[in-house]
Amino acid sequence: MRLTETQRHLVEEGTDGQRKAMEILLTVGRLADAPRLVPITSAHVSGASYKMIGDPGLEFLEDFAQSARVSVPTTVNPLGTDLAQWQELGVPATFAEKQARIARAYETMGVRPSYSCTPYLLGVRPALGEHIAWAESSAVCFANSVLGARTNREGGPAALAAAIVGATPEYGLHADEGREPTVIVEVRTKPRGIAYSLIGLVAGERVGDGLPFFRGFRGTEGDLKWLGAALASSGACGMFHLESVTPEARRARVKGLKSITITSDDLIAARRAHNDGTEADLIGLGSPQLSSEELQAIARLIDRTPPRIPVWVFTSRVVRDANPQAVEIIESHGGRVLADTCLEVTLLEHRFGTVATPSGKAAYYLPSLCKQKVIFDDVETLLERYA
């Protein structure tokens, strides 16, 4: 890989953290045959939940934090619990203590303590064509597809290394060719609610690591957040196009591409495939964390049909603090609004066995990551069912 003088300087005379970060980028670049490192404007790191990275991750981050400092604005994924409410949630003290140490290590490195999987809802809005290094598959999919920024699906340590160096190996979705669609997905149904998640789950399964060009429907930014999160869970997709909606769809080359079709029957079958629970212990809303508008809408729904089982609503600290009224309504009906954590990386298995959720990503991951059975349906339906 060709390095600039500054980058070579980091390899030879940088701090321990800088040298290690360069070594990581060189390894990733060698694997991908990347010609050089491209400067980035922001980084988003995954691997912050103690439940996910455990003692090995904690040890590495604490060691690394001794000398590593980020050089571009950097955000980080949700933690394994809400550190302001862990006692009420029944989280063991050792878990909370180790989780707090992980958070401290990231903060020492200069990472913004947003603990969110939705940095794009917190003011981190890279522009069309901007190079970034993001981990967190759902945020990668949103940034590439909806914003037109450019990032590969970075691993946690690689995104952290990119944050420290301020650059990332240039290959894949950083290059024009890597952003061309590989398959057309004709959707023959008008989606609403969880149908966006379902389209994502079905397409991800069929497309694998391809790049789908969707046709036949429209959606808001909020809808595409759910679609992308599901697509990036069941598939290894880092990006999609949606005809007449996403910014790079118009110039995408679709001529001669193979085309597949998704019908309403496919969505019904996918919903059934991700439903294995009978009675829910918890309604979980998040994965990805909710936006302000989504939080307010949930508060209105809960006010109208208060549920008899606990509702945990996951959002970022910023959104929680900005919506005290919605938080109060939800909590007055026995629900909880949790911040700095998210549904599938939080500790659930110590208390629950079946979770009801409208999130396709959660429906995909809850069985393996949280040992939960799943009831997957629209939030209105779930609230009525458990009213």
Partner 1 sequence: MRIRARGIVPGRASGMAILSPAPFSFVGGVDPATGSIADAATGIAGERLQGRIFTFPTGKGSTVGSYVLYGLGKRGLGPTGIVNRRADAVVAVGATLAGIPMVDRVDVGGLRTGDRIVVDANRGSVELPDVKGKRVVTAVLRNRGQILIVRRSEKVGTFQGRWSAISGVIEGREDPKHRALVEVREETGLRGIVFRSAGGPVLARDGATMYIVHPFLFDAPSRRVHLDWENVEHRWIRPEELHRFATVPRLTDVVAAVLGPSA
Please report whether residue 119 would count as binding partner 1 according to CB under 8 A: no
In this chain, which stretch among 54-62, 102-110, 201-209, 238-246 interacts with partner 1, using CB under 8 A?
Answer: 54-62
Q: What is the C-alpha R_g of the chain?
A: 21
Q: Binding residues for partner 1, how many (CB under 8 A)?
A: 21
User: Of these, 1, 3, 52, 245, which contacts partner 1 (CB under 8 A)?
Assistant: 52
Alpha-carbon gap, residue 204 to 239, rounded angstroms: 11
- Residue 30: CB minimum distance to partner 1, A: 6
- Residue 27: CB minimum distance to partner 1, A: 4
User: Of these, 23, 209, 221, 293, which contacts partner 1 (CB under 8 A)?
Assistant: 23
- Residue 195: CB minimum distance to partner 1, A: 30
Please name the helix (run of DSSP H) or strand (run of DSSP E) that holds residue 254, with its range, or none: none
Selection from 135, 164, 129 nearest residue 152 by Cα: 135
- Residue 15: CB minimum distance to partner 1, A: 16
Please report whether residue 53 would count as binding partner 1 according to CB under 8 A: yes
Please report whether residue 63 would count as binding partner 1 according to CB under 8 A: yes
- Residue 231: CB minimum distance to partner 1, A: 19
- Residue 46: CB minimum distance to partner 1, A: 8
Nearer to partner 1, 9 or 30 (CB): 30
Please report whether residue 360 would count as binding partner 1 according to CB under 8 A: no
Calculate the CA 237 to chain-centre distance: 13
User: Of these, 27, 108, 189, 305, which contacts partner 1 (CB under 8 A)?
Assistant: 27
CB neighbourhood size of 35 (10 A): 13
Please report whether residue 30 would count as binding partner 1 according to CB under 8 A: yes
Helices (H) then strands (E): counts for the chain: 14, 14
DSSP 155: -
**Single-letter code of the amino acid located at 290:** L
Alpha-carbon gap, residue 332 to 268, rounded angstroms: 35
Selection from 276, 270, 274, 273 nearest residue 354 by Cα: 276
What is the chain's length?
A: 387
Please name the helix (run of DSSP H) or strand (run of DSSP E) that holds residue 367, with its range, or none: helix 360-370
Residues that bind partner 1 (CB under 8 A): 20, 23-24, 27-28, 30-31, 47, 52-57, 59-60, 63, 155-158
